[in-house]
Structure 1
Amino acid sequence: MEINSFFIYVLITYLIGSIPFGLIVGKIFGKDVRKEGSGNIGATNVTRVIGKKAGILVLLLDALKGFFPVYIAKYYFPSKYVSIIALTAVIGHCFSIYLKFKGGKGVATAFGVLLALSLKVALIVLTFWLGVFLTTGYVFLASVLSAGISWSVIYVLLDDIYYTFAGFFIAIIIIFKHKSNLDRFLEGKENRFIYK
């Protein structure tokens, strides 16, 4: 493996991760999701502003941004390099070069990363996410808590220190990006996500 190939791969991963699918899908429907709802470009806000089908489409596209770069990288790079690629995919989504280094909150892309690393890990974290969401009704709370446990699940099941550190730093990014939700929650102003 040439180190130049790795850096090129990382750059491509960042550029792919930076694609703001929520904004693109919103524009197709004649909406700028940054100016409506919560202002976020993620699937939750797209669902609120445009509808369920658009939200599912964005969810899938954002997840694939994390899945494919990591899944392919596993065949060509050792885990310490794959972990950097995993982190890069989420950074691209959260700090997009196309949006002046602003972006989404990284949850769907991070799930795509988990799915590429391990189906078992992804299913455990998804089950936990669903449990919190269905119990509380808060998407942000389910996302933050799931991110918080994900790295420990990676450590236990995969026993790879590089993947574990990647999961830990991804969790920090996701929690940081949800700071406004946490502030609203503490003030009693955060809305539960209820789709009718």
Structure 2
Amino acid sequence: MKIIVMFIIAYLLGSIPSGVWIGTKFYGKDIRQFGSGNSGTTNTFRVLGKTAGTLVLLADVLKGTLAASLPLLFHLPINPMVMGLAAILGHTYPVFAQFKGGKAVATSAGVLLAYNPPFFIYSVAIFLVLLWLSRMVSFSSMIALPLITLSSLVIGDWILTTIAFILTIFIIYRHRENIKRIRNGTESKVPFGLGYKKDSHKPHN
């Protein structure tokens, strides 16, 4: 019974729609009506800017970390990664936002942070290298996850491998519209990385 209650709490933590709440409260915008229509970190950066995007990133990572930490905090006989799945589900289908959520990349990273901090750092490094090379968050996420899954095989963590494999399929499915835009050459790119050139015609003070 206690584990079921913790699963519900983890789901509710994941359901906190930080991008939607920050957008409507401080910017008067529902970010689901702008940009890609997604409520996650990337669209928050795109629609509301760096400050809001950073806050949403931290919030989305934190709720994954908190959810995955519940077994440790309450001495539950369940793997933190399994508990973290409830938060990932909540982020993707949030009860507080009409079940229209984000793609769970940041929340998944938060779960990994609680479960295995060194592997989290390694995984973030893979993502950042891919992001620098491609300048596309979606592409970097979809390529990083299979690499992370393979890496988890090397360290012999079968629970991590299984969940990472499930997340790979799930997150690629959630990025199906991004895949279409990547193929069409219309996917949004971040303003840095390989091949990015700043506007040299900006006015000087």
How far did residue 184 of structure 1 move?
Answer: 0.9
Question: In the aligned structure 1, how far is the partner of 2:35 from the partner of 2:149?
Answer: 31
TM-score by length of 1: 0.90
Asked if the contact 1:95–1:102 (Cα under 8 Å) also holds between the matched residues in 2, the reply is yes
Which has the greater radius of gyration? 2
How far did residue 30 of structure 1 move?
Answer: 1.0
Asked if the contact 1:87–1:170 (Cα under 8 Å) also holds between the matched residues in 2, the reply is no
Deviates more, 1:140-149 or 1:125-134: 140-149
Cα offsets for 1:104-149 (capped at 9, x unmatched): 0101101101111111111111111111111111111111111222
Which residue of 36, 39, 44 corresponds with 2:37?
39
**Equivalent residue number for residue 19 of structure 2:** 22
Cα offsets for 1:24-62 (capped at 9, x unmatched): 010121111011111111111111111101100000000
Question: In the aligned structure 2, how far is the partner of 1:152 from the partner of 1:92?
Answer: 26
**Equivalent residue number for residue 76 of structure 2:** 77
**Equivalent residue number for residue 182 of structure 1:** 179
Percent of aligned positions with the same letter in both sequences?
36
Deviates more, 1:8-17 or 1:68-77: 68-77
Question: In the aligned structure 2, how far is the partner of 1:96 from the partner of 1:178?
Answer: 18
**Equivalent residue number for residue 62 of structure 1:** 60
Equivalences for residues 99-110 of structure 1 within 5 A:
99-110=97-108
Question: In the aligned structure 1, how far is the partner of 2:58 from the partner of 2:72?
Answer: 21
Asked if the contact 1:86–1:166 (Cα under 8 Å) also holds between the matched residues in 2, the reply is no
Cα offsets for 1:70-125 (capped at 9, x unmatched): 1232452345x433212111111011122332210101101101111111111111
**Equivalent residue number for residue 164 of structure 1:** 161
Question: In the aligned structure 2, how far is the partner of 1:106 from the partner of 1:152?
Answer: 20
**Equivalent residue number for residue 153 of structure 1:** 151
**Equivalent residue number for residue 10 of structure 2:** 13
TM-score by length of 2: 0.87
Q: Which amino acid aligns with 2:170?
A: I
Change in Cα spacing, 1:78 to 1:161, as seen in structure 2 (3 Å) is farther
Question: In the aligned structure 1, how far is the partner of 2:98 from the partner of 2:154?
Answer: 37
Q: What are the ranges of 5 or more consecutive residues in structure 1 without an aligned counterpart?
A: none
**Equivalent residue number for residue 117 of structure 1:** 115
**Equivalent residue number for residue 189 of structure 2:** 192
Q: What are the ranges of 5 or more consecutive residues in structure 2 without an aligned counterpart?
A: 193-197, 199-205
Coordinate RMSD, CA, aligned? 1.7
Change in Cα spacing, 1:149 to 1:78, as seen in structure 2 (3 Å) is farther
